[in-house]
Amino acid sequence: MNAIVVLISGNGSNLQAIIDGCAKGTIPGKITGVIANKASAYGLQRATAAGIATRVVSHKDYSDRASYDKALQQAIEGFAPSLVVLAGFMRILTPAFVQHFSGKLLNIHPSLLPKYQGLNTHQRAIDAGDTEHGCSVHFVTEQLDGGPVILQAKVPIFPGDDASTVAERVHEQEHLIYPLVVRWFCQNRLQQRGNEAWLDGNLLSVQG
Ligand code: GAR
C-alpha cells in the first residue's frame, strides 16, 4: 500500500477528495499524514475526522526558507511516504526540498499551465477576457508552477462570472483530476523522467 503525505495551507477540499478516493478504494494508497504550515488550516480538521495523523510545521518558527524546508522535509519523512501531494500548500519550496522528493512530488494549480503561474489565477483569466480556464496537476520541479503537466481540466468562463464563481467551477474539476492522478501514481503507472511526465509508457508532457 502506498503511503501518501498531503501538505495543505487552508480549506483542504482537494485533500478531502483524496481522502474519499482512498476510502472508496479507487486510490490504492493510504494517507499516513497531513502537514500544514498553519494551525488554522481547516483541512487539519478534515484529516482528524478521517483518523489521519496531522502535524503543523509553522513557517513562523523558522528564520529562513532553507531551515523551514529542512524541518518540513523531516516531518514528511516521519510519515515514510512514497508520494507527497501538495494540495493548496501556499509556500514556495527550495531547490533542495524539491530535489529531495523529485519524482514523487505532485502539485495542483488553478490554471491551464503554462498560463497564469503564481497567484490570483481566476481574476487574471477574467481580466484577460479568457473564455476558457481550468486546473493542472503536475510534477513539481525547481521551476515554480513549471513542472511537467500530467492532467488538465478545462472550464468555461461566462460573461458575468467573478473570481468566486470561476473558482467554484475549477474546484469541481480539481476534485476529479487530483484523485485520478494520485490513483495513477499509486498504480505505478505514472513517472517523472527528468523534465518529462510519463503515463503507461507514453510521454504526456515536457517541462516548457
Ligand atoms: C486549489 O484551488 C489549488 O489549485 C490552489 O489552492 C486551492 C486549494 O484549495 N493551489 C494553488 O494556488 C497553488 N499555487 P483546497 O484547500 O480547498 O484544496
Per-residue pLDDT of the chain (208 residues), as tens digits, is 899 999 999 999 999 999 999 999 999 999 999 999 999 999 999 999 999 999 999 999 999 999 999 999 999 999 999 999 999 999 999 999 999 999 999 999 999 999 999 999 999 999 999 999 999 999 999 999 999 999 999 999 999 999 999 999 999 999 999 999 999 999 999 999 999 999 999 999 998 6
Does 102 count as an annotated binding residue?
no
- 121 CB neighbour count, 10 Å cutoff: 24
- Expressed in angstroms and rounded, the spacing between residue 99 Cα and the centre of ligand 1 is 22
- Expressed in angstroms and rounded, the spacing between residue 88 Cα and the centre of ligand 1 is 4
* Full-model pTM: 0.98
- 66 CB neighbour count, 10 Å cutoff: 13
Strand partners, 108: 137
Q: What is the pLDDT of residue 118?
A: 96
Does 13 count as an annotated binding residue?
yes
DSSP-derived letter for residue 5 is E
**DSSP H/E element including 44:** helix 43-49
Residue nearest to atom 5 of ligand 1 (CA): 88
Q: What is the pLDDT of residue 80?
A: 95
Q: What is the pLDDT of residue 207?
A: 84
Strands 2-8 and 83-86 turn out to be parallel
Whether residue 93 has its Cβ less than 6 Å from ligand 1: no
Q: What is the pLDDT of residue 1?
A: 83
Whether residue 88 has its Cβ less than 6 Å from ligand 1: yes
Whether residue 17 has its Cβ less than 6 Å from ligand 1: no
Give ipTM to 2 decimals. Answer: 0.99
- Expressed in angstroms and rounded, the spacing between residue 124 Cα and the centre of ligand 1 is 16
Does 65 count as an annotated binding residue?
yes
Q: What is the pLDDT of residue 37?
A: 98
